[in-house]
Amino acid sequence: MDKKVIEIFGLTKKYGSFTAVDNLNLTIGKGEIFGLLGPNGAGKSTAILMLMGLTEPNSGTVRVCDIDPSRNPVEVKKKVGYLPEDVGFYDNLSGMENIIYTARLNSIPIGEAEQRAIKLLGRVGLSNELKKKAGKYSRGMRQRLGLADVLIKNPEIIILDEPTMGIDPTGVKEFLELIVRLSREEGITVLFSSHHLHQVQKVCDRVGIFVNGKLLAEGDIHSLAKQLFKTSAYTIEVGVSPEYFGKGSTKNKSIKANQLKDKLVSLKGVVTVNVKNNLFLVECSTDISSELARTIVNSGADLNYLNKKEYGLDDIYYRYFEGGNAYE
């Protein structure tokens, strides 16, 4: 983690008046799995293209393994494997021939390339499809072949642009597990772009949220939640005995519920209390679950449910898009 393999400072890319990537700053450490999360058209792919030297930035600097990709793209490409979005293969060649070709472009002698290809294709679960023409591969198989293609040059970094698009859920799960395993076993740094938050949440050490060309926040999921929900870092769901809510809204019941609600609001650290689905949702700045429980029990109600809720990427993601400009 101490060694930085990708460093980006003030990176900007404009297409005419449209700014695709706006002053991006980002560093990624060795062996990390970094998730670049953002909606479609946020500029994720453009940022990645600049990392690979496939397009030139308007301003800002990029260092990949201490090399400038716009000056010296070939050196960068020796160390970085890039799986483009919707990768294509030569349909008239078999899967194996396709990645052997890649290997030979990396100056790996044929014999070694063949051995490596067989090993890697086994690893991504394509052992039975070695000789099959790449044109007959399914979407998921193509994506796995793409991963093998990226790995055959023994890269230090792999960049995956929307790698799970179009694969079925079980396929996605296997694919992501494979990536994590590879990264952990061989110490490969992974930059992974996606608009699927669950996938990112599952595999990434750190996440950057990328909207309209700007990196709005970065960090692990916990610290992201803290950055975002400064005032109310915790939400505690509390369920009390059904007489407080019950069916039909008799006056008595709602008065009781309101009294309890007022009591809860008056507690120290509580920001708001909402009632939803027969549960009190208590948003608070510190963890006061025990105090909360005591208060409820003391007030004579039966406490039957208490859940401390931590923010997932889901909440973080939606919060950003809801909040829109407020967080920029």
**Footprint of another protein on this chain (CB under 8 A)?**
45, 49, 52, 54-56, 73-75, 77-78, 80-82, 84-92, 101-102, 104-112, 114, 146, 149, 153, 161
CB-CB contact of 52 with 77 (8 Å): yes
The 8 Å CB, 24+ separation contacts for 244-250 are 244/301, 245/275, 245/278
Q: Which is nearer to another protein, 15 or 305 (CB)?
A: 15
Return d(Cα 211, Cα 195) in angstroms, integer.
Answer: 11
Return d(Cα 238, Cα 301) in angstroms, integer.
Answer: 11
CB-CB contact of 124 with 148 (8 Å): yes
Return d(Cα 97, Cα 75) in angstroms, integer.
Answer: 24
Q: Which is nearer to another protein, 108 or 270 (CB)?
A: 108
Q: Which is nearer to another protein, 54 or 293 (CB)?
A: 54
Minimum Å distance from CB 78 to another protein? 4
Minimum Å distance from CB 157 to another protein? 12
Minimum Å distance from CB 79 to another protein? 9
Count Cβ atoms within 10 A of the Cβ of residue 275 and give its class: 0-12 exposed, 13-18 middle, 19 or more buried: middle
Return d(Cα 258, Cα 246) in angstroms, integer.
Answer: 14
Q: Which is nearer to another protein, 60 or 219 (CB)?
A: 60
Task: Specify the pairing of strand 234-240 against strand 279-284.
Answer: antiparallel
Minimum Å distance from CB 44 to another protein? 12
Q: Which is nearer to another protein, 105 or 255 (CB)?
A: 105
Minimum Å distance from CB 144 to another protein? 14
Minimum Å distance from CB 121 to another protein? 16
Return d(Cα 111, Cα 240) in angstroms, integer.
Answer: 70
Q: Which is nearer to another protein, 21 or 292 (CB)?
A: 21
What is the SS3 assignment for 237?
strand
